[in-house]
Amino acid sequence: MLRTISRDLRDADWNITAVLEMGDPAVDPCGAPRLVDLLPGDQTDRCYGVAIDIGTTSNVVYLVDLIRGKVIDRASAYNGQISVGEDIISRIVYAQKRDGLRRLQQLVLKTLNGLLDEITTRNQIPAGQIGKAVVAGNTTMLHLFLELDPRAIREIAVHTGLSSRCQ
């Protein structure tokens, strides 16, 4: 933001909406608000977030109006990771290959970015107006999303006998 703030303020003729992230007083009672973005004009009636569900089979993105507390729209698609393995164990094994973990992350990001493009276009909302995102999924899917090595998940399942029940 520091690189563009001067230009953004001038382009908006100094009429901007500051997007602030308020701290959680239960966690940090003295926490100050954090400036997240500057939007041109008065956009106080528009604030959006997305809730993302990364499933083994499909991914779902929900567009949420954060001011009104309502889900506006949803989009879903098959998780692009299916192309390298239909189940969690296959993907964990694939992640151990050279560049496998990075490829798995790229596949899910491609799917999610496509869904975000679809939902923002359909609702005529600039992506810059999405101020919050929450991502949920099972432990393996979150590891792959964050490009974290999921090997230990499989090793624990194998050593405890859970692998036959958890596929």
C-alpha 51 chain-centroid distance? 7
Q: Tens of pLDDT along 12-68? A: 899 988 888 777 777 777 778 888 778 888 888 888 999 999 999 999 999 999 889
CB 53, CB 59: distance < 8 Å: yes
103 by Cβ neighbours in 10 Å (0-12 / 13-18 / 19+) ranks as: middle
Report the C-alpha gap between 46 and 119 in whole angstroms: 16
Report the C-alpha gap between 31 and 93 in whole angstroms: 43
Would you place residue 162 in the very low, low, confident or very high pLDDT band (cuts 50, 70, 90)? Answer: low
Q: In DSSP terms, which residues pair with 78 in a beta bridge?
A: 58
pTM above 0.85, yes or no: no
